[in-house]
Structure 1
Amino acid sequence: MVQIGGRNVATNDVGVIAAGAVAFIFSFLSWFSVKGDFFGSSYSDSASVWNTDLGGWFWGWLAILLLLAVAGLTAALTFVANLRLPTLPVPLPMIMAGASGLAVLLILIRWIAYPSIPDGFEGGASYGLFIGLIAAIAQTAFGVLNLRSGSGVAGQPPQPGGWPGQGQPPYGQPPAGYGQPYGQQPPAGYGQQPPAGYGQQPPAGGYGQQPPTGGYGQPPQGGYGQPPSDR
């Protein structure tokens, strides 16, 4: 776990968010570069993933959008209170890991789709593409780890709430046993009426009654201090 903004964030979730941020930042840097001599003068140029002048640009920006969406959803589930999602036919961790894996494939296609370099020039895929590819692979790996272990916010949504069908109580309803100590049941008889006889008057002749004649503290019949009877 890592402490971010006063919240405990799973290490794999930190990796997912960081990988998406890195891929987005480097998408604005050089993904394709070319340099050489042109009519006796040196020439160099570069293009980011968002450049539409090169063939296959669609594959590049779609990959970045997927990585950014996975990172953004992970961050939202982590830091936005009471965030709810609709019921999904496929577990959310599987969808997120699959989206990151698809981004890896799209970046590879973007690499292959770059045009060939004319004679007298050199260049091709640049450092931006390589770092973006590494970030996509890293995000996929962290997503698979979350999927295998069932950890992270995608596998364990924040409380309270969650989304329907994911093993969470309905939104706005307290969980079973709410208000009781965790893992404990109230003691037997808690809140029950006391047993019969509790607080009742003692039976006749019970404690507090005068002892019977001749009992304790009564002078004995013909006892001491009395003149003996005539015989």
Structure 2
Amino acid sequence: MANFDAKQVTPIEWAGIGAGALAFLVSFFPWYSFSWDGAGLGIGGTSGSASAWTIGIGGWGAVLLLVAAAVIILLPHLGTAVPNKASLWLGFAAGATVIILIRWLTLPDDGGLGELGGLAGGGFSSGAGFGLIIGLIAAIVSGVAAFLTFQGAKKATA
């Protein structure tokens, strides 16, 4: 096994590694949040949230893809050859981005009725949480870095 030399990792590769690490970190933050004040019914309200690990494959699947991309980036620096590294990285990052966007679009909400259509007495809100937004940004950063690496690898072989 080769010794790891951080100086050999390019800034673009650091972006991909950092995106994977950031995605893993924010996977424990709220990806979906909701609250209801219950004022219209004269009762106490409630609120809650769900992390990437509890909102389904649209959360944890994307996180695992970004972590896998970070591992693929690191492997050559640890002495393990990775054929088609740029293509794999680009595919994982693009997949993660699409999965997060689909998850965001399919999150439960009040369907645009506002205040649950007046049925619950008002005060209901829900939507994407901090973790989902940062996770999407991490996926996009990884995707852009992967694309730049892919373009560079394509030019080097041409």
Q: Same fold (TM over 0.5)?
A: yes
In 1, Cα distance between equivalents of 2:65 and 2:6: 28
* Partner residue in 1 for 2:15: 15
Instruction: Please show how residues 81-100 of structure 1 align to structure 2 within 5 Å.
Output: 81=79, 83-85=80-82, 91-100=84-93
3-state SS, counterpart of residue 29 of structure 2: coil
Residue in structure 1 matching 2:109, options 96, 106, 116: 116
* Partner residue in 2 for 1:141: 144
* Partner residue in 1 for 2:119: none
Change (3 A) 1:75 1:48: same
Instruction: Please show how residues 50-129 of structure 1 align to structure 2 within 5 Å.
Output: 50-52=53-55, 57-78=56-77, 80-81=78-79, 83-85=80-82, 91-117=84-110, 119=116, 120=122, 121-129=124-132
In 1, Cα distance between equivalents of 2:103 and 2:142: 18
3-state SS, counterpart of residue 35 of structure 2: strand
Q: Number of residues paired by the alignment?
A: 141
Larger radius of gyration: 1
More helix by share: 2
Q: What TM-score comes out, normalization by structure 2 length?
A: 0.79
Letter in 2 for 1:32: Y
* Partner residue in 2 for 1:192: none
Unaligned runs of 5+ in 1: 157-165, 167-231
Q: What TM-score comes out, normalization by structure 1 length?
A: 0.56
Letter in 2 for 1:103: A
Change (3 A) 1:9 1:138: same
The structural deviation recorded for 1:49 is 1.1
Letter in 2 for 1:137: I
The structural deviation recorded for 1:112 is 1.4
3-state SS, counterpart of residue 47 of structure 2: strand
In 1, Cα distance between equivalents of 2:8 and 2:36: 52
Q: Stretches of 4+ moved more than 3 A in 1?
A: 4-7
In 2, Cα distance between equivalents of 1:77 and 1:42: 52
The structural deviation recorded for 1:64 is 0.9
In 1, Cα distance between equivalents of 2:139 and 2:65: 9
The structural deviation recorded for 1:42 is 3.0
The structural deviation recorded for 1:5 is 4.5
Letter in 2 for 1:7: K
Aligned-residue Cα RMSD (Å) equals 2.4
Letter in 2 for 1:26: V
In 1, Cα distance between equivalents of 2:103 and 2:149: 28
Higher relative contact order (CA 8 A, sep 6+): 2
Identity of aligned residues (%): 33
3-state SS, counterpart of residue 45 of structure 2: strand
The structural deviation recorded for 1:40 is 2.1
Letter in 1 for 2:149: N
In 1, Cα distance between equivalents of 2:108 and 2:15: 33
Change (3 A) 1:6 1:136: closer
In 2, Cα distance between equivalents of 1:126 and 1:144: 27
